[in-house]
Amino acid sequence: MAMNNQGRDSTPHSVSVTGDVVTFTGNKALQQEEALIFEMDNPGAVGVDLPEPVTVKTRLGGLSARAGVGLPQLAEPDVVRHYTRLSQKNFAIDTTMYPLGSCTMKHNPRLNEKMARLPGFGDIHPMQPVETVQGALELIDQLAYWLKTLTGMPAVAMSPGAGAHGELCGLMAIHAALDARGESHRRRVLVPESAHGTNPATAAFCGFTVDTIPAEENGRVSVEAVKAKLGDDVACIMLTNPNTCGLFEPQIREIADAVHAAGGYFYCDGANYNAIVGRVRPADLGVDAMHINLHKTFSTPHGGGGPGSGPVVLSDALAPFAPLPFVVHGKDGFTLVEHAKDAGEATPFGRLKGFHGQMGMFVRALSYMLSHGADGLRQVASDAVLNANYVLASLKDVMSASFEGPCMHEALFDDRFLKGTGVTPLDFAKAMIDEGYHPMTMYFPLVVHGALLIEPTETESKRTLDQFIGTMRHLAEKAIAGDLAHFQAAPRLTPRKRLDETQAARKPVLRWVKPVPQAVVAQAAE
């Protein structure tokens, strides 16, 4: 039998086809169209092999067993491919620069993932006897030590589940401290207008009223503006530092002193702690409480929206009110204080979470801290600030920087450079997507018009920053040159073009519903 040895073409054809590529499947090579898992139902298939249960007389207390749930059935290969394909429709730090201001999208080291998956951390139950989880309690204690040492604060509450939950923890501690002082009439909370939305929402969630402090022309909060709002009904100020404009509040100590002198507390939103970690201790700024987003500064993954972790460092004035449970080191090792009666002198304000906190995130954060050490963490802040200033300096001639002078870890621009072009910050952001970048934060903070907030983080290389800067300059020049259509049509290369958010909100479709079979529809019509 003769061998077919005719070979194959090894050079591409020089045929050019213009216009959008249309395929039979709707797929675009690596970009696969993917149905909902419910539409892939393959009755009779199963993705797990479970043994038959032993035969017993059921004891459901008089309840009858459920008839069915309505879940689709698929074998493992189909499930794995489905979610793998979905993953390919996401931008992520692993694949592109993700300069979302205020979100600190830094590299998530995989060592942290490996450590969190050690069975000694991942496979232990929160209600096991404490003598069987000494290593876990020791890890929480070590992480607490790092957080206290870095911030200079005497205490830390570990259980909050995310930043906003940490804010809640801090404000509840303040609430409790005021009640203990017999000053329950202090129910007004001062919040600068540049604050994250969680700040006023949290204050309201605690039953406080929110009083907004206007921002100064230079993006800062002035001590005079704060003093004008102080009074004996003020519970606290909630101040972000560095603030949401990416600026360090130069009068922060004066503001803290003024608030303290008026009998209030200073809650610091620590969302931007990455800019100062290892270089400035919040304790030296007069802070009474500050949450730390472990998923920002300490590199635990954002996971598409969580889980996070938001430990709250507390001053001596607030420490006694920290919530249950907490770890203490006694003569027989570590113990877990779960009830107020075991809290000694302390008077915990209550409990915030089902169990002890986000242990999986604690392991990752400590892994990151040990990796960086005191020297590395200081360098983190330095490089984060350097990177942001490099972006600011390299773009301020083509984009409009909102404020004079250097920034901290994020560079704030506004939409003045787009004036007269018809291009909105949203259009500009969508054009960045086609160039392979996740957009920066837009329209926040609210104190500048059409905000564009860029936070590169310390884990981007100079080469990446130079490419990014080149892209941003190109887009800015393109917008100014009048190529409006380019921006309004963007993004064009994503699995979906711009989505109709108005329709989504007007007629909410929040779940899949099994379609009624055609035969039934026809019957109903008769």
Partner 1 sequence: MRYLPLTDADRSSMLATIGVDSVDALFRDVPDHAKLPGKIAGLPDHKGELEVERHLSRLAAKNVTASSVPFFVGAGAYKHHVPASVDQILLRGEFLTSYTPYQPEVTQGTLQYLFEFQTQVALLTGMDVANASMYDGATGTAEAVLMAARVNKRNKVILSGGLHPHYREVVETTCGIMGMDIRAQAPDWKNAEDLSALLDAETACVVVQTPSLFGHLRDFTALCDAAHAKGVMVIVVVTEVVSLGLLPSPGSMGADIVVCEGQSIGNGLNFGGPYVGLFATRDKYVRQMPGRLCGQTVDADGKRGFVLTLSTREQHIRREKATSNICTNSGLCALAFTIHLSLLGEQGLVQLARINHANAVTLADKLSAVKGVSVVNDGFFNEFTVKLPKKAAKVVSKLAAKDILAGVPVSRLYPDVEGLDDLLLVAATEINSVEDMDALVRGLEEVL
Where in 249-278 is the site for partner 1 (CB under 8 A)?
A: 249-250, 252-253, 276, 278
Closest CA to 381 of 258, 311, 309, 282: 282
Number of residues that bind partner 1 (CB under 8 A): 205
> Whose Cβ is closer to partner 1: residue 15's or residue 335's?
335
* Phi then psi dihedrals of residue 254, to 5 deg: -65, -40
The reply on whether position 70 binds partner 1 by CB under 8 A is yes
| Spatial distance between the Cα atoms of 168 and 299, rounded to a whole number of angstroms | 22
Our CB check for partner 1 shows the closer of 186 and 295 to be 295
Nearer to partner 1, 379 or 471 (CB): 379
The region of 3-11, 160-168, 230-238, 412-420 touching partner 1 under the rule CB under 8 A is: 160-168
String of contacts with partner 1 for each residue 4-43, x by CB under 8 A: ------------------------------x-xxx-----
Query: In the stretch 486-515, what mask flags binding to partner 1 with x, by CB under 8 A?
Result: -----x--xxxxxxxx-xxx--xxxxx---
The DSSP output letter for 238 is: E
Q: Which of 152, 156, 150 is nearest to 375 (CA)?
A: 150
What the block records as the tokens of 475 is: 């887009």
Closest approach of partner 1 to the CB of residue 223, in Å: 12
Please report how many Cα atoms fall inside a 13 Å half-sphere around the Cα of residue 76, on the Cβ side.
Answer: 3
Residue ranges in 312-371 that form contacts with partner 1 under rule CB under 8 A: 323-324, 338-339, 341-342, 349-361, 363, 366-367, 370-371
**Least distance from C-beta 496 to partner 1, angstroms?**
4
What's the closest the beta carbon of residue 225 comes to partner 1, in angstroms? Answer: 17
Q: Is 236 in the site for partner 1 (CB under 8 A)?
A: no
Q: Are strands 326-330 and 400-401 parallel, antiparallel or unpaired?
A: unpaired
In the bound state with partner 1, the residue whose beta carbon lies nearer, of 380 and 451, is 380
Residue 146 or 265: the one with the smaller Cβ distance to partner 1 is: 146
Which positions from 394 to 423 touch partner 1 by CB under 8 A, shown as an x/- string? x----------xx-x---------------
H-type alpha helices, 409-483: 425-434, 462-480
CB of 515 to partner 1, least distance (A): 13
- In the β-sheet with 441-442, what is the strand arrangement from edge to edge? 400-401, 411-414, 452-454, 441-442
13: Cβ contacts below 8 Å, ≥ 6 apart? none
Name 311's Cβ contacts closer than 8 Å, sequence gap at least 6. 143, 144, 147, 156, 157, 158, 160, 166, 291, 292, 294, 357
